[in-house]
Amino acid sequence: MLSSLIFFYQKRKPTTIANGAGLIIKKEWLVSNKNPITSKNDVRPADQTFLTFPEWYLVFSPEEQANYFQKQTATSFPFMSHTRQIWESYHIVNDQIKGNFPPNKGYHFMIWVIGTSASIEYSIKALYETIIGRITDTYTPKTVEDHFNAKFTEDYVTFIKDRPWYEFDFKTRLKNLWTENSFTGDNFFRKMERKYILTSELLVKWGYGKLIGLGTKQVYEEALPTTAVVLADNTIVNLPRYDKFNEAITKLSKQGKSFKEIAGNHSAILLTVLMPTKKQMNFENAQTVFTQPISSDTINQRVALAIPVRQLNILLAQLDKEKIHIEHIFDF
């Protein structure tokens, strides 16, 4: 198995391209706010805008899969490219924060846990699909099991945009796999093979999710559901956190608001946008940190940008004007 994994890695080029070597962002953008207006309970470490990228990549990745599975089977999905992008992006964002902010060992540990788990999952899937899945592959989804996988992945993505992955109800999905999908029909061998791999995945994630959930409660405090934002006039507003933060802060920007602090920080904030690979653009006052070609959709790419909190509204206005899709704003 080790030799197979080495083979997969050797066959793929790096798919996260840093916009330079080492520290890319201006050092003056990487300064902790020593006297925040934001209340202490609402302040989060400044480096977490960068460290949350690998965590959120594990939302972007299944979302890419969900889109892909609408037209293609999981057998042809580029899982190993995603494995590489997890660690390549982590290496790049870590280069931006090391030595500039106090150590954040707990968050780094969490990234290593979830990154390693995802890498193992994707490596096993890539190996399985190459050796076994391709034998039964129908290329486009033709069995109810392949359609089940597409719907399950889509629902999973919707859930984890605002809730921890381990709270997802894998048990019910496993039951549905066996009670709502017939054993007969066309492509019988594909049906049985997909039932096997989906059952294995759901069982493992159900059990592993229970363990991770218990461990998380022991090690980490429950995360606040809101992000405190200080506006230019010192008004403090509490915006919804995670995926809903994007829409909320963009709405404020469209109303002409600008920002002094986000989660107690005025240093650089990270955001990602999705745009055509061939599109060239100069982002106002922002620094491009890296780009990631979308592995299953080569005409599009992810671009990671950094900009000081107090200039974020300028960038948001430009993105709105240019009709560029904001994938996520990493609210520390």
Is residue 209 located within the same domain as residue 241? no
**Within a domain: 30:** no
**Within a domain: 36:** no
Is residue 230 located within the same domain as residue 127? no
Residue pair 96/27 in contact (Cβ under 8 Å)? The answer is no
**Within a domain: 34:** no
* pLDDT for 12: 60
Is residue 105 located within the same domain as residue 231? no
Is residue 315 located within the same domain as residue 174? no
Residue 230: strand pairing partners:
236, 261
* pLDDT for 144: 96
Q: What is the CA radius of gyration of the chain?
A: 21
Is residue 60 located within the same domain as residue 176? yes
Residue where one domain finishes, among candidates 199, 219, 239: 219
Q: What is the mean pLDDT of each run of 10 residues along the chain (332 residues)?
A: 48 84 96 96 98 98 98 97 98 97 94 97 98 96 96 98 96 96 90 97 97 83 91 98 98 98 98 95 93 95 98 97 97 97
Residue 317 phi/psi, 5-degree rounding, is -65, -40
Residue 245, token pair as written in the block: 């933060």
Rounded CA separation 63/67 (Å): 6
**Within a domain: 283:** yes
* pLDDT for 222: 80
**Within a domain: 41:** no
Is residue 148 located within the same domain as residue 15? yes
Is residue 162 located within the same domain as residue 137? yes
* pLDDT for 183: 85
pTM beyond 0.85: the answer is yes
Is residue 163 located within the same domain as residue 138? yes
Q: Which residues contact 1 (CB under 8 A, 6 or more apart)?
A: 127
* pLDDT for 11: 54
**Within a domain: 183:** yes
Is residue 324 located within the same domain as residue 267? yes
* pLDDT for 322: 95
* pLDDT for 7: 46
Q: Which of 19, 20, 18 is nearest to 87 (CA)?
A: 18
Is residue 199 located within the same domain as residue 248? no
Residue 125, token pair as written in the block: 């899937």
Q: Which of 282, 263, 269, 266 is nearest to 324 (CA)?
A: 282
The domain containing residue 211 runs over which residues? 2-23+47-219
Classified as helix, coil or strand, 223 is coil
Residue where one domain finishes, among candidates 159, 188, 219: 219
Rounded CA separation 159/18 (Å): 30
**Within a domain: 58:** yes
Is residue 147 located within the same domain as residue 243? no
Residue 293: strand pairing partners:
301
* pLDDT for 250: 98
**Within a domain: 68:** yes
Is residue 19 located within the same domain as residue 102? yes
* pLDDT for 1: 46
Residue where one domain finishes, among candidates 202, 219, 236: 219
When divided into structural domains, the chain yields a total of 2
